[in-house]
A and B are shown apart, each in its own frame.
Chain A
């Protein structure tokens, strides 16, 4: 009996230590991995675009937008997202796909939704916690805040127009006209998605915005 109790105690101590280590991994290990992945994805994108290391991000050359030719491959980056309200240096790549394998390294474009600047709804999901907490501050965005999306040729500027909380089953938020499946879109929208509250999967925070300008991207941005 004594041996059994001692064995059980040792097992519980071991499980406790492993759980603590897993929590540490989620908080810091995933941030390190995502940071390395972001560095690699950014380099990959800049190399594809032939635009150096991204110094001077934010400068946009005057001129009309050009026709983007974006090829979507799951797990591959095709754009950068910048939200100045999160800090001057806040910038993440957007990769194709929103399964855990993708969100663990970068915010992802929801498959089936429109591309940046297109008529309809460009939806992007990101982790609020783990993987560098890219959308940690999403619920703090206010109406009027700006969201920039840089593609190879253009910079699209969206203005935040609203925020609400939905259940994870409410996928109508990613419809071309959110909440109106089948309706023909006329506006160019963005929808940013993350979990709420943090560390749970019970609800999602949805931040919506409208395109206010599109311009040719300077080589430096």
Chain B
């Protein structure tokens, strides 16, 4: 998967690394701002919630 991704990125190793970092940051941002807030509503990490 990562090998295929690396080979698919355009340019020489320098620009490829920059592209890779950009993709990693993009994936992290989607997780941080989209997936994790949603997940937090469904994963009770400390059991303080009282659903009456």
Residues on A lying within 8 angstroms of B by beta carbon are 7, 10-11, 14, 18, 21-22, 25-26, 29-30, 33, 98-101, 103-104, 110-112, 125-130, 135, 168, 171, 174, 193-195, 198-202, 204
Contacts and interface: CB of A to CB of B under 8 A. Distances in A.
Contacts of A129: 45-46
A127 B48 contact: yes
Contacts, number: 81
Nearest to A25: B36
A141 B31 CA distance: 37
Contacts of A204: 47-48
A195 B50 contact: no
9 contacts: A22-B31, A29-B32, A98-B48, A99-B51, A103-B49, A111-B52, A195-B48, A201-B44, A202-B47
- For A18, A22, A126, A198, the residue with the greatest tally of chain B CB atoms inside 10 Å of its CB is A22
Q: Is the interface of A mostly helix, strand, loop or mixed?
A: mixed
B: interface residue count bin: 20 to 34
A120 to B, nearest CB: 15
Nearest to B41: A100
Given A25-B32, A98-B50, 13 more contacts: A10-B2, A14-B1, A22-B36, A99-B51, A100-B44, A104-B41, A111-B52, A127-B46, A128-B46, A130-B46, A193-B50, A194-B46, A195-B47
A33 B41 CA distance: 13
A130 B46 CA distance: 8
